[in-house]
Chains A and B, each alone.
Chain A
Amino acid sequence: MITIPYLTALTTYFSYGLLFAFGQIRDLFRKILDWWSADNLQGYAPICLGLEDFYIRRLYLRIQDCFGRPIASAPDAWIDVVERYSNDNNKTLKRTTNINRCLNLGSYNYLGFAASDEYCTPRVFRSLETFSASTCSTCVDGGTTVLHNELEECVAKFVGKPAAVVFGMGYVTNSAILPVLIGKGGLIISDSLNHNSIVNGARGSGATIRVFLHNTPSHLEEVLREQIAEGQPRTHRPWKKIIVVVEGIYSMEGELCKLPEIIAVCKKYKAYTYLDEAHSIGAVGKTGRGVCELLGVDTADVDIMMGTFTKSFGSCGGYIAGSKELIQYLKYTCPAHLYATSISPPAAQQIISAIKVILGEDGSSRGAQKLARIRENSNFFRSELQKMGFEVLGDNDSPIMPIMLYNPAKIPAFSRECLKQNVAIVTVAFPATPLLLARARICISAAHTKEDLIKALEVISQVGDLVGIKYFPAEPKKQQEEDGRLKLD
C-alpha cells in the first residue's frame, strides 16, 4: 500500500495529461504530414495499431537516455557507463567512446559475485575449457553434463529441498513451469504485484486466475474461501487444485513476503504454495537461504520453490526445487527442460562455486562476511534515506529500496542529475510499475564499501533537494504528515 499526497497526485495527473495532450497534437501533425506522403503500407495493417505504441513514441522516447545505459565493465560496485548522445531529440542514441566511472546502485549484484572472484573465476575458466560455452542440446537429450547434475544436487541441498531442476533462464522457469503444474479447472491465486513471468506463466496455463491484494494474507483467505465455496465459474464444479503464487522479495517494492501467515492460510485451505525467490535467495537469511530462513518458515511447507541465479550468484538461469516426485515429473514433461538448450556450463560452474563460497565450503569465511555486509549495508542505507525524508518502500533486511518519485518529470531529472555526479541509479516507470507510481530503485550490494554508501547518500540527498522528492520532513516529526494523504493501492 502506497500513500500519495493529494498535491503530488494532482500534479502527476496533470503532467501525464499534458504529455498526453502534446503527444496527441504531435500525432495529429504527423498524420497530416503522412497524408501527403505516399501510403507505404500497401494493404497491410500497421505494425502498431492506434495507441499501442503511443506511450513509447510520445513519452518514453523523451527520456530514453535514462534507460538501457550501456556499460563497459562487469556490473560490480563501480561500473564504466558509456556516454551516449542524440542528434534527433532522443529518438536514437549513439554510443561514444567516452566512459564515466560511476558508483553502481542499479545491478542485482547482492553478494558481489558479479566481479571476478578468487574462488569462482578460476573454476569458471576451467569449466569453459572442459565443457565449452554451450552444449547445443537440451537437458533431456545430450545437454546434461556432470556439471549440470552437480549443480542440481548443490541447489537442492542449498535451498533445503530433496531435489531440484535447473533452467537456463529465470523468466522461462516461471513461464514454463506453471502450465505444467496446473491447467483448465485449476485456480491460480497470485499476488497483485507478482512479476510478469508469473503472470505469463499463469496465462499460458489455461487455469483461472484470481488476484489478492499485495502481501495481504487476510485478503488471500477471503479469496480462498469465496473461491472454494463457489467452485469453477458457471459449472460450479469444485476446483481441481489451487496454487498460491507469491514472491520472496518483491523486486519493485523491496518488501518481504509475509510468508508465515500466507503459509498458514494455504495450509488451512489445502492450497499449494509456489514461492518465487528470484531476489531473496542468497541475499537474505543468516546463511543466505532466502526468506524461508529469514522468517523462520520450514521449507517442507512450501510445495514449489523457485529462484534465479542472475542476482546473488552473478550468473544466469533459474531453478525449481521440490519433492523428488515433483522434479521427476517436471523433467518428464516441462517444455523448458525438453526443448531449451541446457544452461551454459561456465554459468553452471559459477553458481556451484558461489554456493560453495556462501556455505563456507571453500574453506574461508568470505561467504558469511558477504552476507553480514549486505545486511549491514542495506539497513544502514535504508535508515539514512528515511532520516533524510525520502519516501522509501520496503522492509528492513531487504537489499532493494525504492524511492518514490511520482511525477514523470522527476524521473529523468533524478536519473540524469545522479549520473552527472557519477552515481548510477535505476529509475523505474511504466510498464514495470503503475503509471502514477514512478520510482527510483536502489539495489545494495555486499561489494559496496561504507565510503561508497556515504558518497551515494550525499549525492542522493543533494539531488533529492534539487528535484524535490523528499516528501517527508527530515527526521523527527513524521506522523502528522501521514494524515493528509490519499490512499492508493
Chain B
Amino acid sequence: MALSFLNIMNISLDWAFDAPPSRAVVFGVHIGGHLVVEALLVIVIVFLLLQKSYKPPKRPLTEKEIDELCEEWVPEPLIPPITEEMKYEPPILESAARPHTVVNGKEVVNFSAANYLGLIGHKKLLESCTGALEKYGVGSCGPRNFYGTIDVHLDCETRIAKFLGTPDSILYSYGISTMFSAIPAFCKKGDIIVVDEGVHWAIQNGLQLSRSTIVYFKHNDMESLESTLEKITRENKRAKNVRRYIVVEAIYQNSGQIVPLDVIIRLKEKYHFRVLLDETNSFGVLGASGRGLTEHCGVPVEKIDIITAAMGNALATEGGFCTGSVRVADHQRLSGSGYVFSASLPPYLASAAITAIDLLEENPDLITRLKENIAILWRGLSGTQGLSIASNPLSPLVFLKLKKSTGSFKNDLQLFEDIADRMLREDSVFVVASKRSTLDKCRLPAGIRLFVSAGHSEEDLLKASESLKRAASAVLSGYN
C-alpha cells in the first residue's frame, strides 16, 4: 500500500518536473520545477488575500459598564475655591462719574473714568437724553432688523460717518461687542491677521472667533511688524488670494502707547494688507478737531479699511461703532453677530452720541484743554519714585509702570492697588490699577492708569501727581 503510494508520488513528481513545459527553455533559462513552486505560491497568496484581516473583536461598553462609568465620574467644581483676592470690592460712586465725584460720602478727584472731554453731566447731553427718553422710552426692545431700528440710530450712523468723512458707519449696542463682531465678519478660516501683542480683550476675542491664522508682533514695534509681514508674504505663496489684515489700536488700552499710523500705512501698502484700527481711546481726543488718529497723523481716512470705536469714552455715552466704506458697513448688517443677534442701542444713548459729536465740533477748545491737562499731569509726575510713565505724551490715558518689576504680574498689581488705595484714602484721589482677566492673553506689565479729562482743573492734576508721588514712595520704599 505504502509502496504503491510512493510509486504514485514518484510518477507524479516525475511528470511534474519532467513534464514538457518544465523542460522548456525561456530566454535561454531552464525552467526546471519553478512553475509548480510558483503556482503553489500564487495559490497561497490568493488564499491569504481571501482571508479576512484580523480584527480584535469589538465589544462595545454594556449599559451596565456605562452606568458604572457615569457613577464613578466626578466633575470638577464649577469654579475654583474663592481666594482673598477674589473678594475685591470696587469703590462705590454716589454721584455721577464727573471729574469730582463722591465715594464713601467723601468728595474725590476722579481719574478712573475715561470721560476725556468732560462731557459727563453736560447740560446739553442731558437735555438730549431727556428728549429721547420722553419720545422713545429706555430700551429699544428688539434687534435692529426687527423693528429695533429707531430713527436716531440711523441719524447717529450718518452723523458719525459725516464727522469722520467716511461713506458709512454702523452702530453696535456695546463697546466691546463692536470688535468681536467686526473682526469675524471679515476674517474667516484661512485668512491671515497680523496683530499687536498688546491689544485688549475684545479684539483678542474677535480674533479667536474668526478662526483665522493669527500672527503677533512685538508691542508697538514697527520693525517687528515689518519682519512679520515680510516673512508671511515670502513664505506664503497663496498669500495673494487670502485676506490679510493688520489689527492695531490707536491708543493702546493696556499701555497708553500710540501706534505710528504713517508707518502702518507705508507697510500696509507695501505688503497689501488691510488695516483694522481701533480708535476707542483716540476718537474725540487726537487730532485738531478730535477726528482721531487719522487726523493726528494726517492720513486720509479712506486709507484705513475698517475703524472701530467704543463710545463709552470721549463721547460719554455707551455702545460702539464701526465705520469704513459702504461695503464694510453693509456687510456687517447681516454678518456682525453683535448687530444681528442683539437688541439695538437704547435710543437715548444714540441721541447722546449725536449731541456729543455736535458739542465736540462746536467746542474744539475741549481738545486743547485736554492736551494742556495731559501736559500738566506729565510735568507733575516727572521724577516719581520707582515708577515710569509708559504711555505716549499725547495719550489721555496716562499709564505708569514699575521701573523694576517684581517679576510677577500679580505682585506688581498688588503694589499698584496699595498705591491706589492709599491715594483714595489719604488724599481723596481716585485712580485705578490695571486689573486683568485670567482670560486675557496680553502679557504687558501691570500699571496704574490715570484717565485725564478736559474737566480736570490744574489744581486737581497737581493734587493727583503729588498724591501719587507720595503714595508711590511710601509703598515702594520698602520694596525698592
Query: A-side interface residues toward B, CB under 8 Å?
Result: 42-49, 52-53, 55-56, 60, 67-76, 79, 81-82, 95, 104, 106-109, 113-116, 120-121, 124-125, 128-137, 139-146, 149, 168-172, 175-176, 179-181, 195-197, 200, 203-204, 224-226, 228-229, 238-242, 269-272, 303-304, 308-311, 313-316, 325-326, 328-329, 331-336, 338-341, 344-347, 350, 424, 426, 428, 431-432, 441
Whether the Cβ atoms of B135 and A73 lie closer than 8 Å is: yes
Determine the chain B residues whose CB is within 8 A of the CB of A76 once the complex forms.
Answer: 137
Whether the Cβ atoms of B115 and A136 lie closer than 8 Å is: yes
Whether the Cβ atoms of B147 and A69 lie closer than 8 Å is: yes
Q: Which B residues, 177 to 204, have Cβ-Cβ distances below 8 Å to chain A?
A: 177, 180, 186, 188, 200-202
Whether the Cβ atoms of A172 and B142 lie closer than 8 Å is: no
Whether the Cβ atoms of A346 and B138 lie closer than 8 Å is: yes
A107–B200 Cα distance when bound, in Å, is 34
Report which of A47, A140, A145, A329 forms a contact with B94, defined as CB distance below 8 A. A145
Determine the chain A residues whose CB is within 8 A of the CB of B140 once the complex forms.
Answer: 75, 310, 316
How far does the Cβ of A266 sit from chain B's closest Cβ, in whole Å? 11
Whether the Cβ atoms of B97 and A136 lie closer than 8 Å is: yes
A95, closest chain B residue (CB): B154
Of A53, A71, A316, A333, which is in contact with the most chain B CB atoms at under 10 Å from its CB? Answer: A316
Interface size class on chain B is 35 or more
Nearest 3 interchain pairs by C-beta: A142-B112, A341-B312, A169-B174
Determine the chain B residues whose CB is within 8 A of the CB of A141 once the complex forms.
Answer: 90, 112, 432, 435
How far does the Cβ of A129 sit from chain B's closest Cβ, in whole Å? 7
Whether the Cβ atoms of A67 and B146 lie closer than 8 Å is: yes
Chain-A contact segment, one of B235-243, B387-395, B403-411 = B235-243
How far does the Cβ of A331 sit from chain B's closest Cβ, in whole Å? 8
22 A-B pairs with CB atoms under 8 Å apart are A48-B331, A69-B147, A75-B150, A109-B141, A131-B95, A132-B126, A135-B96, A136-B97, A140-B88, A142-B112, A142-B113, A145-B97, A172-B177, A180-B439, A270-B74, A313-B139, A329-B79, A335-B202, A344-B349, A346-B133, A346-B348, A350-B139
Whether the Cβ atoms of B137 and A328 lie closer than 8 Å is: no
A350–B141 Cα distance when bound, in Å, is 13
Whether the Cβ atoms of B86 and A328 lie closer than 8 Å is: yes
Whether the Cβ atoms of A133 and B186 lie closer than 8 Å is: no
Determine the chain A residues whose CB is within 8 A of the CB of B451 once the complex forms.
Answer: 136-137
Whether the Cβ atoms of B90 and A144 lie closer than 8 Å is: yes
Determine the chain B residues whose CB is within 8 A of the CB of A203 once the complex forms.
Answer: 208-209
Q: Is B426 interfacial (CB 8 A cutoff)?
A: no
Determine the chain B residues whose CB is within 8 A of the CB of A345 once the complex forms.
Answer: 96
Of B80, B137, B200, which is in contact with the most chain A CB atoms at under 10 Å from its CB? Answer: B137
Whether the Cβ atoms of B130 and A125 lie closer than 8 Å is: yes
A69–B147 Cα distance when bound, in Å, is 6
A228–B323 Cα distance when bound, in Å, is 47
Q: Is B364 interfacial (CB 8 A cutoff)?
A: no
Determine the chain B residues whose CB is within 8 A of the CB of A181 once the complex forms.
Answer: 78-79
How far does the Cβ of B142 sit from chain A's closest Cβ, in whole Å? 5
Report which of A74, A137, A346 forms a contact with B136, defined as CB distance below 8 A. A74
Determine the chain B residues whose CB is within 8 A of the CB of A109 once the complex forms.
Answer: 141
Report which of B77, B180, B340 forms a contact with A431, defined as CB distance below 8 A. B340
A479–B331 Cα distance when bound, in Å, is 45
